[in-house]
Chains A and B, each alone.
Chain A
Amino acid sequence: MLLGGKMGFDIERLMRLALIYVDEDEASRLVNDLKRIMDFFNKINSLDVESVDPLYHVLDASGKLRSDKPEPKDTIEWIRRHSRVKGDMVVGPRTIVEE
């Protein structure tokens, strides 16, 4: 479902990008919301910041390095209690995607 217009949203692609399923009712409402929010975001287009560097980290402090000391932790009991397991392996979906 590709919605036209200047700020068109290909909702199928967005659903795949974020891996979130939304049904058709929700999708039309969602697209409407997204358009309005993008209009609100477009406000930043009117500010010229060409010469400014992006700010990735708010504080100038340098990152940390950890000393290479192994500390074994065993979370298998927690995994057994909280995850779907078969023989202590966590069960996941199929990796072959049917088109």
Chain B
Amino acid sequence: MRIEHIGVAEYIENARNDPEWVSEYYSVLFERIGKVEPEINSYITLADPEKAVKNAVESAKRKTTLAGLPVAVKDNISTKGMKTTCGSRILSNYVPPYDATAVRSIKEHGGVILGKTNLDEFAMGSTTETSFYGPTRNPWDLDRVPGGSSGGSAAAVAARIAPVSLGSDTGGSVRNPASFTGTVGFKPTYGVISRYGLIAYASSLDQIGIIGLSVEDIALLLDIVSGEDPRDSTSIAYPSAKSFYSSIKDGDRYLGDFKAVLVSEMWRGVDPDVNTVLKAVIGKLESNGLEVTEISIPEIEYALPTYYIIAMAEASSNLARYSGMLFGISKDPSGVDWVKYYSRIRGIGFGREVKRRIILGSYILSEGFFDQYYLKALKIRRLLKQRLVKVYGDHGFIISPTTPITAPRLGENIDDPLKLYALDVETVVANLVGGPSISVPAGFAGGLPVGLQITGPPLSDLDMLALAYRIEEIIGSGKTHAPPLG
């Protein structure tokens, strides 16, 4: 059996027809993990193979919706009884006593948690190099980063050592690595997938997302993990009578039914090769009936600093709880006062980038700076939302590069925070506005994948997936190209 081209849809079909096939699939999958994973380092923790197969086969026999589908889960999403580290030393021994709602949904529908994937520490980064567990490598070029922060989730799917994965996206953390690894990465509207159990980085921006090989696969899993959750006050019920999967499969939607717009500011500073690949794709879409216009939104230049101010402020609050008391690494506190004890544990437990963001976030929220930075950023956030919702209404989805460049080499950006932050320039807008955004593979530049990003207003998820599905039909899906591994 070759599993390179088996996505969610193909898995479920085979597994439901023949539970015996499931054990064969799993043995090939684990064999491939054994071969490929040491080079990629996409997992922090792997499920016990025997238990996973047993669960999967049983689940397939019971004809559950997911029929034992293995799902890789980013290691900042809580899994009961399975270590959840956030890629941090401070949580290196943390085993949650509960499942995140999304994980619970997957299990309840007969899915199997295959493992916990590598990430930038606490999802703070865009390259998966800030992980305490070492960097993940890009399956297309092992000297390059897979993007981040959901680098492990994207690399595992790209390397075909997971058919699909959950990531989290605070400022592009699902779409950026999807773009760098030639996979599809989707961040829904804020609230569509419950955040309960997602370990917070910046609560008002965080959203669980899905990385897969095709739009169809994304929609299939989205139907499982979306939905209003009584445990998350910010979660919402997506207002649609039809499932995401059956909606995108609706044969009545044509490319010509959609409108798209290019925002000139989002094409500034884009690598010329990336630009060439994407413009060619857009030309092809236009010739297939997509209406494309071009406008300028000068305020978008403020999105990146605005995003980082809000994210760091919230992060400083969310990460206050890591202090070596009830969970995570600790030392014998005897004879040590709490100021010293907390300072030391946090000094040892957090990596450099996380410290930077917590300290700066605390500073931004403190007396005298709150109005000047935090409150002002929130005002710009409203302004941007108003501007963009108007643009979406008038011109349709915004189409842009997902990242201004292809995957950089390991170590290229890590020492310069500003260079690192610049990787998020295209993606943060969706998180600030709260709307959905997706990155689909659009081709290659210099042998490295290039992603095309579609961004829309809140609750346009269904239409966006339908558009992405039509685009995929025209330019081909990630499923067709596998990196030369193993």
> Are these two chains actual partners, yes or no?
yes
Q: Determine whether A52 belongs to the interface, using a CB cutoff of 8 Å to chain B.
A: yes
Count of B residues near A, CB < 8 Å? Answer: 71
> Which B residues are CB-close (under 8 A) to A53?
379, 382
> Which B residues are CB-close (under 8 A) to A15?
343, 359
Report the minimum CB–CB distance from A42 to chain B (whole Å). 8
Count of A residues near B, CB < 8 Å? Answer: 51
Q: Determine whether B375 belongs to the interface, using a CB cutoff of 8 Å to chain A.
A: yes
Q: Determine whether A28 belongs to the interface, using a CB cutoff of 8 Å to chain B.
A: no
Distance, CA A84 to CA B432, complexed state (A): 40
The answer on a CB contact under 8 Å between A52 and B382 is yes
Distance, CA A14 to CA B369, complexed state (A): 13
Give A4-18 interface residues, CB cut-off 8 Å to B.
9, 14-18
Q: Determine whether A3 belongs to the interface, using a CB cutoff of 8 Å to chain B.
A: no
> Which B residues are CB-close (under 8 A) to A57?
204, 234
The answer on a CB contact under 8 Å between B379 and A52 is yes
> Which B residues are CB-close (under 8 A) to A84?
330, 332-333
Interface hub of B97, B205, B305 (most chain A Cβ within 10 A): B305
Task: Mark contacts of B365-380 with chain A using CB atoms, 8 A cut-off: 1 yes-contact digit, 0 otherwise.
Answer: 0100000010111111
Q: A30-B355, A40-B421 are contacts. A90–B382 as well, Cβ < 8 Å? A: no
**Main secondary structure on B side of the interface with A:** helix
> Which B residues are CB-close (under 8 A) to A41?
305, 308-309, 364, 373
Q: A33-B356, A44-B306 are contacts. A55–B343 as well, Cβ < 8 Å? A: no
Query: Which residue of the partner chain B has the closest CB to A52?
Result: B379
The answer on a CB contact under 8 Å between A58 and B434 is yes
**A–B complex contacts, Cβ < 8 Å, 6 sampled:** A15-B359, A17-B366, A34-B363, A47-B302, A92-B333, A94-B341
- B residues near A (Cβ < 8 Å) are 93-95, 97, 189-191, 204-205, 230, 233-234, 236, 299, 301-302, 305-306, 308-309, 316, 320, 323, 325-327, 330, 332-344, 346-347, 350, 352, 355-356, 358-360, 362-364, 366, 373, 375-383, 385, 417-418, 421, 432-434, 458
**20 further contact pairs, Cβ within 8 A, besides A82-B326, A92-B338:** A14-B363, A17-B366, A19-B342, A20-B343, A21-B343, A22-B355, A33-B417, A34-B360, A37-B360, A52-B380, A54-B378, A54-B379, A58-B434, A64-B233, A79-B326, A84-B332, A91-B334, A93-B340, A94-B335, A94-B337
